[in-house]
Amino acid sequence: MAEEWKGVFEKIDDYRWLLPKKEGMRVPGLIYTNEKMLQHLRMDRTPVQVANVAYLPGIVDKSMAMPDIHWGYGFPIGGVAGMDVASGGVISPGGVGYDINCGVRLLRTNLKEKDVRPKLHDLISALFVAIPSGVGSKGRIKISTQEVMEVLEKGSQWAIKKGYGLAEDALHTEEKGSMEGADATKVGQRALERGRPQLGTLGAGNHFLEIQIVEEIYDEEIARVFDIFPGQITVMIHTGSRGLGYQICDDYLRVMGNAVRKYNISLPDRQLACAPVKSEEGQNYLKAMKCAANYAWANRQCIMHWTRETFERVLKVGPKDLGMVLIYDVAHNIAKIEDHLVEGKKRTLCIHRKGATRAFPVGHPDVPEDYKGVGQPVIIPGTMGSASYVLVGTERAMQETWGSTCHGAGRVMSRTKALHMIRGEQLQRELGEKGIVIRAKGYKTLAEEAPSAYKDVNEVVDVCHNAGISKKVARMRPIGVMKG
C-alpha cells in the first residue's frame, strides 16, 4: 500500500487542484474535486496514485483524476492519462483495471410510472429470472470456445447477428460495440474458459440493472434529441467483461512485470507494470484488451435484449408501444489509441480511462450521426437509492482531459467496512419505504453497495458540470433495482 499523501494541493479554481511535480514525476497531477470532497482526499492515499501515474514513460500534460476518484490497482479509479505513442509511451493494465469495459447502457421507453408501478415487483422478479446474476453466475447462452473467440472479435455485432437485439443498437454503442484490431489468439485458454459460460450475465459487486424515472431535465433541446422526457421510465444496465476480462488483466500483469525489466522502466509502484505501446507486449495486451471490451459489449447487448422481452411479457405491451431504444452505451475501463492536440500539435496518444467516461463534443467524428449536433451522451450511474445522470461531452473536455469525465459516485468506504457498518436487510427495508423495489442474490451485496459507502453522486456530477468537462442533461431516480 502506498503512503499517505504528504504533498500540497494547489488550488487552481473551485473545481481543479494541482499536484505539483516532484522528483521523478514527468508531469504534474490534476484532481477535479471541490473543497468538501478534497477534505476526504487529504486523509486518503489516492493522490499518491495520481502522482505515481505521472512517473510513467510517455505521459503528456498531466496525470488526471475525476471527482469520483478512489483507491485502485496501480492507477486510481477515476484516473485518466494520455501517453505519447511515438515517444515511447506505455500501456498499463492497471490503467484499465481488472473489469475491462465495465460500462453502462441507458435505455429509454415510452412508459411512465403509472404503466410500471402496479407490476413493479413482478417485473423485477421476472428480470431476476431472465438475467443470471451473482458471483460466478453462468448464462443462458451455450457456446463453444471457438464461438467465444468470435464474440471477442465481433462484440455487439455477434450478439445482434445471433438475434439478441437490433442492428441500430450498435449505432448508439461506443465503437459501435466492436473495437477493430481485437485478436482472440492473444487471449489465454483460462480466460476463454471463464468467458464461455458467463456471456449474458450481470455479475456481482457494483453491477446492476435499474428501472428509473426521469426526474429533472436540465437541457430541453438536448433531451429532445435523446428522446428523454420528464416522468419517463428508463432502464440502466451496468456490467462488464466478467471473469474473462479479469483473467486477461491478471495474465498480462505478469507479462508486463517482465516487460518492465526488459525495457528498463523505473516505477514507483509495481502495480503500474507496463510496456511501450509499440512493443510486442504492449500490442498483445492491446489486442487482448479489445477482446475483453468486445465481450462486455456483447454481454450488455444480450442483457438488453432479455430486458426488452421481459418488459413486453410482464407488461403485455408490444415493441412499438414499449419503445425501448438504446440511448447510448459507454465504457468506463478502457485504453484507446486516439489523436489529440498536444501543445497545438496533433499527436497519437494511448488514453487510459479507468473509472472514467469518454466525453466527446459536438461534431466529433466518433459521436453517432444523430447526436453530432449535441455531443456524445455520458451516462453516470448512481448507487441504490440515489440519482443517475445523463450528460454530454464538451469541447473543454477535449482540451483538458482528452475528452474524459467522471463515471459514477466513487467509493468512500471499503466493502469490508461497509459490511461491518450496514445491514443489508435493514437497507432493503429503508429503500422499500422510499418506493424502491430491490432484488439481490444476498444481503451481503446490498450492504457492500449501500449508498452511504459512496460519495454523493450529485456533488460529483456538479463538479464535472461546473468545471465544464461535461454538461448536465437529465437526472433519473431509481424505482426498481436488480443486484447480483
Catalytic residues: 407
Alpha-carbon torsion (10, 11, 17, 18), positive or negative? negative
Determine the Cα–Cα distance for residues 232 and 477; give it in Å rounded to an integer: 11
Give the list of residues 6+ apart from residue 289 with CB closer than 8 angstroms, or none. 93, 96, 100, 248, 252, 334, 335
For residues 408-433, b (16+ Cβ closer than 10 Å) or e, as one string? bbbbbbebeebbeebebeebbeebee
Sheet holding 345-354, edge to edge: 10-13, 16-19, 29-32, 63-70, 77-84, 345-354, 333-342
